[in-house]
Amino acid sequence: MKFSIIRNNATSLGYKIADEITEKCLSHGHIISTDPYQANFILNITNVMDPQFFKRRSKSVFLITIVSGENINGNMQSACYTTLIKTFANMLICAREESNNHLKAYFTTPEAGFYNIEYDAEEAYNLMIPVAGAHYSTENVFIPDLPERFYSGSPVVDEIIKFGKKMDELGVLPAPFPLRQLLSEEDMLHLYRVFGITGASYGNLSSKEEITEFEPPVFWMTGRGVNKSCLSTIGKDLLLVKDFDFQTGTAIISQPVSYDPKARVSVDAVEHALIYKTFPDTGAIIHLHAWMDGVLCTHQNHPCGTTELAQEVVELLKKTDNPESAVVGLKNHGLTITGRSFEEIFIRISCKLKTEVPMFA
């Protein structure tokens, strides 16, 4: 892959770490591009006191911000996530010399992943490259052909609304970092374009619906960035995915004739679509930023909305006793839960959920 390096007034430690990671990239066959707009990923070397960003033209370009943490005196996780958001990065690597003179590297992702390792340039490369090499499948195409009888919803939609509220009652719909305290409205719009994050709540729900006008599988899914605890509007809070083009990474959305052109289905639609396609008896899927003991877990922390994450989740589900009614973990992120219905899912999991997601390298 091609990569570019943006140097934005970093500290000497920040430059040292970035140079070492750059050497690892080159030794593994990646090529430096002098034009960042032609690169697959970008190393943005900056500082936590005045973090600078590179505004990508496309979400397909992954940005890794590298900083040093000697000026961080408060909460490390909060400082790292703030810097991640302010630099619009897919991953932040923050190197800091600890009191025992050991150099640690702290990794942060938009999905709220936060973990650290004893710094090693090769290990940092190995943790970074699955993110840098992932492929987003989050495009939407809108077709105003939703049958009019669904303009006000359906029993399936009612179930999603009901169980969205139940997720909130269980305390598993955490809000992302208070983004609007950190970013201007213009920057918030850019963040939405890059990550689909608006600051409402994490998590999503979907459920299949048999609609005679469309070929199955067809499913309703919560919108991107909407508050799952108070869903209401068809075509904005809840969208009908009537097909998914896996080759182009595009959800085909059936909308009312008058619809909100800014609406987008959850970035996890590619994962849900692949699950419904692979396991036809699955009726509903829930994604939570929560945890359960003893679950199979993905090996990599692929970003939400990527083909790689969807494929790894499906492969994990194949290893379970009953893929249509199973729970798998997403590393440093949360859970994907399948079932015949939401009722069945909640009977299985509600007493087992932990709101704290374990983090590990």
Amino acid at 328: V
136, burial (CB in 10 Å: exposed 0-12, middle 13-18, buried 19+): buried
* SS3 state of residue 256: coil
Q: Which two tokens stand for residue 349?
A: 């999991």
What pLDDT was estimated at residue 199? 56
Write a three-state SS string for 263-323: CCECCCHHHHHHHHHHCCCCCEEEEECCECCCCEECCCCCCCCEHHHHHHHHHHHHCCCCH
pLDDT-derived band at 54 (thresholds 50, 70, 90) equals confident
Whether the CB-CB separation of 201 and 228 falls below 8 Å is answered with yes
Beta bridge partners, 208, equal 219
Using pLDDT thresholds of 50, 70 and 90, give the confidence band for residue 60: confident
The set of residues, in sequence order, having a beta carbon less than 8 Å from that of 355 and lying 6+ positions away, is 171, 172, 174, 290, 291
**pLDDT mean over 257-265:** 90
pLDDT of residue 197: 59
Mean pLDDT, to the nearest integer, of 286-291?
92
* % of the chain residues with pLDDT over 70: 93
Query: In b/e form, how buried is each residue of 273-309, taking b as 16+ CB within 10 angstroms?
Result: bbbbebbeebbbbbbbbbbbeebebbebbbbbbbbbb
Which tokens is 5 given? 């390096």
284 vs 243: CA distance, rounded Å: 16
Q: Higher model confidence: residue 46 or residue 110?
A: 46
What is the per-residue pLDDT across 157-195, written as a single tens digit (0 to 9) for each? Answer: 999 999 999 988 888 776 655 666 666 777 666 666 666
Rounded to whole angstroms, what are the CA distances from 223 to 204, 233, 263, 269?
8, 10, 7, 10
User: Measured between alpha carbons, how far is 194 from 183 in angstroms, rounded to an integer?
Assistant: 14
Angle at 310 between CA 237 and CA 60, to 5 degrees: 80
Phi/psi region, residue 72 (left: phi>0; alpha: psi -120 to 50; beta: rest), is beta
Predicted confidence (pLDDT) at residue 274 exceeds the cutoff of 90? yes
Which range, 107-116, 199-208, 312-321, is most confident? 312-321
DSSP calls for 164-210: HHHHHHTT-----S-GGGTS-HHHHHHHHHHH---SS---EEEEE--
pLDDT of 180: 63
Give the pLDDT band of residue 198 (cuts 50, 70, 90).
Answer: low
